[in-house]
Amino acid sequence: MLTEHPLKILVVDDDFVNNKLLCQQLQTAGHQVVNQAYNGKQAIEMTKSLNPDIVLMDMQMKNPDTGEIDIQAGIKASRLIQEQCPTPIVIISAHKDPTLIKEANKAGVGAYLIKPSNLDEIERTIAIAMTRFNDLMEVRRLNKELQNEISRRVKSEKIIKFMATHDPLTSLPNRWLFNDRMNQEIAHAKRNQQKLGVIFLDLDHFKKVNDTLGHKAGDQLLKIIGQRLTSLLRKSDTVARISGDEFVILLPRMTTQLNATEIVQKILTTVSEPLTINEQAVQITSSIGIAIYPHDGEKANELIKNADSAMYYIKKHGRNNYHYYNADAE
């Protein structure tokens, strides 16, 4: 016996005499024949149910449904076995056609044995098939581990990149990502002689929410406000949380200043809608400043600064409103 221990073997051959003779040879060598199959369909079913260590299968067998001889019956059954329950397989055949041998290898057959064959040849072929199968399974295992590691690293890189460019509380873009997108849109606006708007929003009396309901409630409120702002914007717009209760919004590719006015009016209404946090009714308003490219600045930091100045103008003049930047009034 060339294997380390006796094997559980399924024998498949539609010729009763050949089937029985092969079983006797294997049993003489100390192996256990778990069953005998006489066609490819039986081979597939028995492999799945009996889980043999290896299958020895004739190449040419009758089709159980039509009764016709199929020269590739063993190859077809081997292919399905490898798809459904990978198992070492030896094809036994009198055919020496290289094309058939090649097809058998493509179907996942571990070794090809030419009839007639003695016990030593059978044992050597079984050992070869077992080794090849185990090597293949090891390669597949290593490939799977490699793919899992690649997926893990890709996922980790995506998470790291997201964390570097987004606010950890609201998952909105952070200041860095906002500036990056803004610089891109300023370049586009310059090429196409378009306007773009920058909105600076600050929540009114947000500190009272933290002081009365706690910081967790304040964090929840910021998340809700972020979601509300996002729901109002186009896909091309960007809303970011840059600090505390301050949000900035980029409105690219504007045709008129009225585009910004319309969205700001919606923001004031939507932000002030009542909500419930920890079973407590909460209502908050916002103060908004607006700067327009290129009239109020041609660089990102300049536009943000001027929108911030316009927001503070509203803070000083009643809150819960908006104001366009005016260099003379600020």
Active site residues: 245
Tell me the sheet residues that pair with 247.
201, 241
Cα distances (angstroms) measured from residue 86 to each of 89, 115, 208, 231: 9, 25, 66, 51
228 three-class SS? helix
CA atoms of 242 and 174, how far apart (whole Å): 6
CA atoms of 190 and 293, how far apart (whole Å): 9
DSSP H or E run through 206: helix 206-213
CA atoms of 328 and 194, how far apart (whole Å): 24
CA atoms of 275 and 86, how far apart (whole Å): 58
Q: Are 240 and 173 in contact (CB under 8 A)?
A: yes
Q: Which tokens in the block code for residue 10?
A: 């399924």
Measure the CA angle with vertex 165, ends 226 and 252; round to 5°. Answer: 65
Cα distances (angstroms) measured from residue 19 to each of 33, 37, 244: 11, 8, 80
295 three-class SS? coil
Q: Are 225 and 204 in contact (CB under 8 A)?
A: no
